[in-house]
Amino acid sequence: MTLYSQFKGKQWNELEYIVRKDISLPKLEKGYSTKPFEFPLDRLIGVTQWHGCTQYQCPHKGIDFGARLNRVLSIGDGKVVNVGFDRYGGECNQGGNFVIVRHDNGMHSAYIHLDSYSVKIGSKVKKGGLIGISGNTGKKNCQSLGYHLHFEVRKGLASSTHVNPVDFVNV
């Protein structure tokens, strides 16, 4: 039985109307977003681990993008408040090279496991401005984490204030 024969008559006409009806949705243009911040990389790259509880970590405080030596961009205008190499978890649990930006709306973004960074504390950054290059710095249980960008959005400077980046960035 074909789809047409299943929906012929009144049902088919209603279905055809629904499919052909012009639905009024906002058109997204390049650089336009319904969320307050932009995507943190120079190209669309897949997510390898989402925010929240994952099979590897609970909670996972950000989103991991499978980025190998890609340009990492500021998600919004702001000021760099911290940069460096994270050794907080000791020799075997490091974040590696990182940058944290305080944005004009008070939110913070963190870019972690960078190969290198191109900003310093106090630098002003613009939306889309270069922060650094994604990399493979840092370790978990003394193991390399592989090339990726760990990206967080926070209500404050501390990592304990993390929120789901999906609420703030089109992913």
> Whole-model pTM?
0.77
Query: Tens digit of pLDDT per residue, the chain (171 long)?
Result: 333 334 444 443 443 443 344 434 343 345 556 787 988 988 878 888 889 887 777 888 899 999 999 999 999 999 999 999 988 777 778 889 999 999 999 999 999 999 999 999 999 999 999 999 999 999 888 788 889 999 999 998 887 889 999 999 877
Please tell me which residue in 51, 148, 150, 162 is annotated as part of the active site: 148
Query: CA-to-CA distance for 109 and 105, rounded, in angstroms?
Result: 11
Query: CA-to-CA distance for 113 and 72, rounded, in angstroms?
Result: 11
Query: CA-to-CA distance for 40 and 47, rounded, in angstroms?
Result: 12
Q: Token pair of 25, please?
A: 């949705």
Give the range of the structural domain holding residue 110, as residue numbers without chain letter. Answer: 47-167
126 part of a folded domain: yes
26 part of a folded domain: no
Q: What is the CATH number of the domain that holds 136?
A: 2.70.70.10
Answer yes or no: 148 catalytic.
yes
58 part of a folded domain: yes
2 part of a folded domain: no
Look at the chain and report how many structural domains it folds into.
Answer: 1
